[in-house]
Amino acid sequence: MLSRNILFFGYGRHGKFIANRLHEDGLNVKIIESNLDFCTDAKEDGFDALHIDVTNDEELKALNPEKYAKIVCVMDDGHLNVFLTLSLRSLFVECYILSLSDSVHTTKKLQMAGANNVIDLYEESVSKIHNILKRPVVTKLLEKFVTQRGGISFQEMLIPENSFLVDRMTDDIDFSPFGVLLVGMIDKELGNAFVFITAGINHRIDVGDTLVCMGDKEKLEAFEEELKRKP
């Protein structure tokens, strides 16, 4: 199933943790590494892993990224991660690329290189500290879901036309009756950037926005159907 296939570059200090969490969530993760030791590590952890030269365009083309729903770039070397993102974007114009950054400068470079989305570890860390100090109840609730999640999973939900949530503010909506927790959203008005709900910004929901919710899989699917209900 294409939507569950992820082409994942990097199995170092960040990549290993992220790849394993994605695998736990039922995604099919193909590991690509330029470091032979990291590639061997991925294979020992049970992943389908391939060792290639990520600076070689022909080897990148042979991966057929079009077969994957998303490409994730999490190479340990920040400069290599930017170069890889740029190469993939030039070779595969239509592919969705998500890249990881560990600095503001790298984030800007990755955005210019053509990444569809960039996760800035520094920014997320600052946000985390802010939330612990300013919104401890919500933060603890999120952490409880993540660390003790059992059958809990995440799901992206696109807001359709005429949904009962259109034009409503996130702070005014009680998600508890649906048995799900709103983690964040991709707001078109903010340039399609992902915003954690703990950031403290009250968002208006528009058609085409994407909610990211957490909860039991069956309840998530039921809530996604509920989004189609008219006001």
Please tell me the predicted confidence (pLDDT) of residue 123: 55
123 vs 169: which has the higher pLDDT: 169
**Domain boundaries in the chain?**
2-123, 135-226
Question: Do the domains 135-226 and 2-123 match in fold?
Answer: no
Q: Binning pLDDT at 50, 70 and 90, where does residue 222 land?
A: very high
Please tell me the predicted confidence (pLDDT) of residue 30: 96
53 vs 14: which has the higher pLDDT: 53
* Superfamily the domain 135-226 falls into: Regulator of K+ conductance, C-terminal domain (3.30.70.1450)
Q: Give the mean model confidence (pLDDT) for residues 102-131.
A: 72
The Cα 96–Cα 160 span in angstroms is 21
- The position carrying tokens 């950031």 is 199
Report the candidate in 10, 13, 5, 3 with the shortest Cα–Cα distance to residue 33.
10
CATH T-level fold of 2-123 = Rossmann fold (3.40.50)
Q: Binning pLDDT at 50, 70 and 90, where does residue 119 land?
A: confident
pTM beyond 0.75: the answer is no
Strands 97-101 and 70-73: parallel
